[in-house]
């Protein structure tokens, strides 16, 4: 009787061990599965802002973390349809930018509560599955403004932006504040071309500012740096590094790195903890989401040293850049 009981206990123990091991293996296999990610872009992936998202997703795909597909040049009128198609296809995470269709995008997310959405947006996240992000690179923008403020001889800087939305406005204000730190006498000419991609229009606006005396240009849009090259003035880049395309012209650039944002969202989808949240903080310099690059050969050693000192204070939490989402205007 005792021997039969021992055999029964042993069998139950072996069965339990087998089930536990199977569970661990199954859990491991589930975690190891690639997350299915789709991105929807309203412009080509070469466009500066979108290129940073595309780069981060490709990096995650190259590591084997995700299976990545995307659609580009999607008009706002088609965006909702493409969101629904990807959700119906079983995509676990859908990434995009919904500045022109905030309400419609949130409606899609509500209809697919088991799909995670991570969208560039001017507004707040919505439970349970609609998260938002933006390129919060106001910190390196401030630093690049310091470079520009020290460089101008005419004390007039030209700034050409796309649309006067909070995401653009705050970067321009940060840039202006940085310039004023090192040059209290500096003034600004500001114009928005009401387009995310219209290089000829941006170039025309830049020429007008240089005709008015601007000798440093803030190139928030493509086309401005081309105008700067033609006129022999310096420029400050934004979001991406174009110094290789405009050697001797781009003094500094505020760079956006989307990897921290994407990696955080993917990990949360993988472990089942994804929920509605604002991912904006992952674009901060402290998270590696923003950085400044400088061509020190185009500035004085004193300017480079001052910028590096301020950058160190930012990273140490000893200095905070003011956030101003209001539309910037030209000085009278």
Residue 138 is predicted with a pLDDT of 97
Q: Output the DSSP codes for 40-54.
A: E-SS-TTSHHHHHHH
Residue 20 is predicted with a pLDDT of 36
Q: Which fold has domain 32-133?
A: Rossmann fold (3.40.50)
Q: What is the pLDDT along the chain (332 residues), one digit of tens a residue?
A: 433 333 333 443 333 434 333 333 223 333 368 999 999 999 999 988 999 999 999 999 999 999 999 999 999 999 999 999 999 999 999 999 998 899 999 999 999 999 999 999 989 999 999 999 998 999 999 999 999 999 999 999 999 999 999 999 999 999 999 999 999 999 999 999 999 889 999 999 999 999 999 999 999 899 999 999 999 999 999 999 999 999 999 999 999 999 999 999 999 999 999 999 999 999 999 999 999 999 999 999 999 999 999 999 999 999 999 999 999 999 97
176, burial (CB in 10 Å: exposed 0-12, middle 13-18, buried 19+) = buried
Residue 32 is predicted with a pLDDT of 60
Sheet containing 35-40, strands listed edge to edge, beginning at the edge strand earlier in sequence:
66-71, 35-40, 93-97, 116-120, 130-133
Terminal Cα distance for the chain, rounded: 101
- Global pTM reads 0.86
Residue for token digits 């981060």?
A: 56
Q: Which fold has domain 138-256+287-315?
A: Rossmann fold (3.40.50)
Contact 119, 131 (CB under 8 A): yes
Contacts of 212 by beta carbon, 8 Å cutoff, 6+ apart: 156, 158, 189
Contact 125, 131 (CB under 8 A): yes
Residue 197 is predicted with a pLDDT of 85
Return residue ranges of the chain for CATH 3.40.50.2300: 32-133, 138-256+287-315
Residue 100 is predicted with a pLDDT of 87
């Amino acid at each position: 009787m005792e021997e039969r009981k021992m055999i029964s206990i042993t069998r139950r123990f072996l069965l339990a061990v087998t089930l536990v091991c199977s569970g661990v293996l199954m859990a491991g296999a589930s975690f190891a599965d690639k997350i299915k990610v789709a991105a929807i872009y309203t412009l080509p992936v070469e466009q500066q802002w979108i290129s940073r998202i595309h780069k981060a997703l490709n990096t995650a795909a190259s590591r084997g973390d995700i299976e990545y597909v995307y659609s580009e040049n999607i008009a706002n009128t088609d965006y909702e349809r493409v969101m629904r198609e990807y959700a119906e296809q079983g995509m676990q995470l859908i990434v995009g930018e919904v500045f022109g269709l905030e309400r419609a995008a949130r409606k899609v997310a509500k209809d697919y509560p088991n799909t995670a959405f991570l969208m560039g947006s001017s507004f707040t996240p919505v439970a349970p599955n609609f998260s938002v992000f933006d390129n919060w690179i106001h910190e390196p923008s401030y630093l690049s403004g310091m470079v520009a403020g020290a460089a101008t001889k005419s004390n007039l800087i030209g700034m050409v932006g796309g649309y006067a939305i909070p995401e653009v406005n705050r970067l321009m204000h940060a840039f202006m504040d940085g310039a004023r730190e090192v040059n209290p006498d500096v003034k600004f000419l500001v114009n928005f071309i009401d387009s995310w991609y219209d290089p000829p229009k941006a170039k025309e606006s830049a020429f007008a500012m240089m005709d008015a005396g601007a000798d440093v240009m803030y190139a928030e849009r493509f086309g401005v740096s081309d105008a700067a090259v033609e006129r022999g003035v310096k420029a400050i880049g934004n979001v991406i590094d174009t110094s290789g395309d405009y050697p001797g012209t781009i003094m500094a650039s505020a760079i956006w790195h989307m990897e921290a944002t994407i990696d955080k969202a993917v990990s949360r989808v993988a472990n089942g903890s994804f929920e509605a949240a604002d991912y904006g903080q992952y674009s901060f310099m402290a998270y590696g989401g923003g950085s400044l690059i400088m061509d020190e050969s185009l500035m004085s050693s004193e300017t480079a040293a001052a910028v590096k000192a301020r950058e160190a204070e930012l990273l140490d939490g000893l200095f905070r850049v003011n956030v101003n989402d209001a539309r910037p205007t030209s000085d009278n």
